[in-house]
Amino acid sequence: MKTKKISGGHMLMEAFLKEGVDLIFGYPGGAIMPVYDSLYHYRKKIRHILVRHEQGAAHAAEGYARMTGKPGVCLATSGPGATNLVTGITDALMDSVPIVCITGQVTAHLVGTDAFQEADVIGITTPITKWNYQVTRASEIGEIIPKAFAIAQSGRPGPVVIDITKNAQAEIAEYLYRPYTAKKLYPKIEEQKKQIKALAILLNKAKRPYILIGHGVQIAHAENEVRKLVEKGGFPAAATLHGLSSFPTNHPLYAGMLGMHGNYGPNVLTNKADVLVSLGMRFDDRVTGRVKDYATKAAIIHIDIDPSEHNKIVKETISIAGDVKEVLQKLIPMIKKNTHRKWLSQFRACDKIEYEKAIKPEMAPTTSHIKMTEVIDLLSKKTKGEAVIVADVGQHQMMAARYYKFTKQKSFVTSGGLGTMGFALPASIGVKLASPKREVIAVIGDGSFQMTIQELATITQEKLPVKIVLLNNNYLGMVRQWQELFFDKRYSFVDLDNPDFVAVAKGFRIKGLKVEKRSQLSKAIDTMLSSKTAYLLEVHVEKEGNVFPMMPTGASVEEIRLE
């Protein structure tokens, strides 16, 4: 095989091109400078987005990966550059998002000497990556980079970190690209025929079947298969936070959202189901509540590609380790056409209870203060449920999840497992670059916004028409809610003395508008949506509003509170 001699930095660019990379998020520095010098020569083939903080690079890469299914790529220098990626890397691990992070490192002979801007990147990131590796010779790059991309995408996706010493980036050596195929860590579909047949028998006999849609459905591109399964069997289906938008909210068989702030019926009726089928979800504590009292009458079937997730939280009747799409393609022909009207009517009855006790009070303009629900509901109607909502973490996140009526697939991006405040603004950059033709709206709270507010500069520099809905209650709202309900209203350090956010946005050359009166809201949303450029809509909302339903920590799914 013919080879050529090039620098390690050029090898990295060549390997990127082989892997289909045309977009990178990063921030340069001393120990990654040879790579950036190479990137200069490839700038017509690979677009680089200069973020304002390395955490922003990781979250932007996540947003890109969530929309495309391809690994997002970010670059950072050694020491603080690398450690600033850690939050985003951990977030990607928790939410099964494929990202490949390239970090610069001091010259190989200085590793371990506490050299300037040296950090033990391998040691730091070992617990939060699927795989990491330190490259010390240029000749390794043609083999290691393909392996990094393969591992990031294979099985349950996740983050990979490749730490490249400065000498390896600059060294001239022969470049040989070596493709890598990751090993499948789960059985072949043919080996699971017995389990799939047993599942079909259970579902066909079930009186109260229940389908739970997790993030794995989107990862496997199995949305259409889920719909076919649900419609054929007449099964009620609910979604986790990350499962939202994988099933249309206006479908007659859609039951709602699971979890701590999910809908009433999907939670309380878990304990009446006789067959519960979990698709690509991991039985997170926010969904199960008190585990010993979860799905007490149901045969639990868990379909998940990660074998380590099976029987980890709940005792499963049938465990199927595999790709959700492949499994459902085998299962659907075995399912008998059916309806479960009586069972479904119980969900609708719960909907009425929730509407009267939680939704109606939230939607009613009983005070002069605008409520978060009003903003999200109006936003949903004006966009016909077709926008991509990128939510940060807190009360606004739960309100967006509850009240935006998703009608298109891949329309909800948020930080779930790690619950990272500051996620939405940089993630919306990656989402918009991945889906330039879709309306991308970041829904953010005033606390979260200030954690990564510097990425407004990235939005301006890249001319990205990201829309930002800032729900400002001058509080760390979710923490305050817990302090109100469980700490006798001892509001300990949650009151925020905020800046003039519209003026701040103007400083970044981003148009904005502040809304304080209900009469202004509708027109203001229209103005934001019609903008051809980035836009900040700051809405002052009810200061001490709460999110209900709510399942207290340690409670069972049946103990969810409506008020």
**Which residues form the catalytic set?**
54, 116-117, 166, 478
Strand, coil or helix: 258 = coil
H or E, element range at 329: helix 324-331
Backbone angles phi, psi at 536, to 5 degrees: -110, 120
Instruction: Return the C-alpha torsion angle 254, 256, 259, 265, nearest 10.
Output: -100
Ordered DSSP codes for 105-150: E--GGGTTTT-TT---HHHHHGGGSSEEEEE-SGGGHHHHHHHHHH
Q: Is 422 left (phi over 0), alpha (psi -120 to 50) or beta?
A: left
Strand 172-175 to strand 4-7: parallel, antiparallel, or no bridges (unpaired)?
antiparallel
Residue 551 near residue 563, CB atoms below 8 Å = no
Enter the tokens of residue 145: 């980079």
E runs forming strands in 381-500 = 388-391, 412-414, 440-445, 467-472
Residue 482 near residue 552, CB atoms below 8 Å = no
| Cα 67 from Cα 418, distance rounded (Å) | 19
Which residues does residue 213 pair with via DSSP β-bridges, in sequence order?
A: 239, 279
E runs forming strands in 150-251 = 159-165, 172-175, 209-213, 237-239
Residue 319: Cβ within 10 Å count: 16
| Cα 106 from Cα 158, distance rounded (Å) | 26
Contacts of 127 (CB under 8 A, 6+ apart): none
Omega before 80 within 30 of 0, i.e. cis: no
Choose among 374, 370, 366, 358: nearest CA to 472: 370
| Cα 522 from Cα 319, distance rounded (Å) | 49
User: Quick one: CA dihedral 364, 370, 372, 378, positive or negative?
Assistant: positive
